[in-house]
Amino acid sequence: MQGFAGKVAVVTGAGSGIGQALAIELGRSGAKLAISDVDTDGLARTEEQLKAIGAAVKADRLDVTEREAFLAYADAVNEHFGRVNQIYNNAGIGHTGDVEICDFKDIERVMDVDFWGVVNGTKAFLPHLIASGDGHVINISSVFGLFSSPGQAAYNSAKFAVRGFTEALRQEMILAGHPVGVTTVHPGGIKTAIARNATAAAGLDAEELARLFDKRVAHTSPQRAAKIILGAVRKNKARVLVGPDAKVLDLVVRLTGSGYQRLFMPMLGKLVPSPRR
């Protein structure tokens, strides 16, 4: 894939899944990479692969919820490469559990990583992206930022918030005449460790939930997802739906308005079981 030669790209959560695939695909296309994760073993594997293909890479442990560290990291990346062109705010976690049984702290944790992590990354890097004269913010939401599911209130909240935040930012950049593209990404089921890394409320079997996700939901490879996302970034698309499932689900939601809830509930209720239902 061409089009990213010489660009400096930042990828959070690059030690696994979509983030790892994005980093490698960007490296193959000639980009220089600043990769980070809390999982330093996974991050080291991504760094090795990038070095093997000859990409310039800076790898750092970064927790996206730590705002001060994120701000310092943005300056360090800018200093290291001399500029920053793109940030992929990708790091994310899942949590399953009905509102009735979720702890406040579980909902807060998902918001901290999946929403505030995106806000931290966007705001930390925005001045550098504007200064580059050729910037792009790519924020990873989900199909769960387009419709809600029983058992996913925390994740839905974060992913809807990412969508709202990113769609506003795109308009702001255009109105201000800033040279920064903005893209919201809505993946469907991607074959990654997301469900295996996720937590679940008391009374739910997290392993069984992960098995169901792997078997019934995750159909698109992270490599394919990365190619689709980068294709959309090249065209500066406002929104990209990743995978055939995402396209169908988006269409149904747009055609039915709130009616999707009645349509999806029986299927989603089985996929995301709860001891209270």
Catalytic residues, by residue number, are: 155
Report the alpha-carbon distance of residue 39 to residue 218 in Å, rounded: 22
Taking CB under 6 A as the binding criterion, the range among 62-70, 126-134, 166-174, 232-240 that sits at the site for ligand NAD is 62-70
CA 215 from chain center: how many Å?
A: 21
Residues 228-267 within binding reach of ligand NAD (CB under 6 A): none
In this structure, are residues 243 and 189 in contact, taking their beta carbons and an 8 Å threshold?
yes
Give the whole-angstrom CA distance, residue 184 versus residue 49. 27
CB contact at 8 A, 18 and 190: yes
> Strand, coil or helix: what is 6?
coil
Taking alpha carbons only, the member of 121, 146, 96 closest to residue 12 is: 121
Residue 180's SS3 state is strand
Under rule CB under 6 A, how many of the chain's residues touch ligand NAD? 32
- The smaller minimum CB distance to ligand NAD, of residues 71 and 130, is found at 71
Write out the binding residues for ligand NAD, residues 2-31 only, by CB under 6 A.
Answer: 12-13, 15-19
Quick note: the x/- pattern for ligand NAD over 136-175, rule CB under 6 A, is ----x-x---------------------------------
| Contact call for residue 37 and ligand NAD (CB under 6 A) | yes
Q: Smaller CB distance to ligand NAD: residue 132 or 142?
A: 142
Stretch that binds ligand NAD, among 47-55, 59-67, 99-107, 166-174 (CB under 6 A): 59-67
Which member of 57, 91, 229, 233 binds ligand NAD (CB under 6 A)? 91
Q: How far apart are CA 170 and CA 136, in angstroms?
A: 10
Strand-pair partners of 212: none
Min dist. Cβ of residue 92 to ligand NAD (A): 2
CA–CA separation, 171 vs 118, rounded Å? 17
User: Which residues sit at the interface with ligand NAD, rule CB under 6 A?
Assistant: 12-13, 15-19, 37-39, 42, 62-65, 90-93, 113-114, 117, 140, 142, 187, 189-190, 192-194, 197, 218
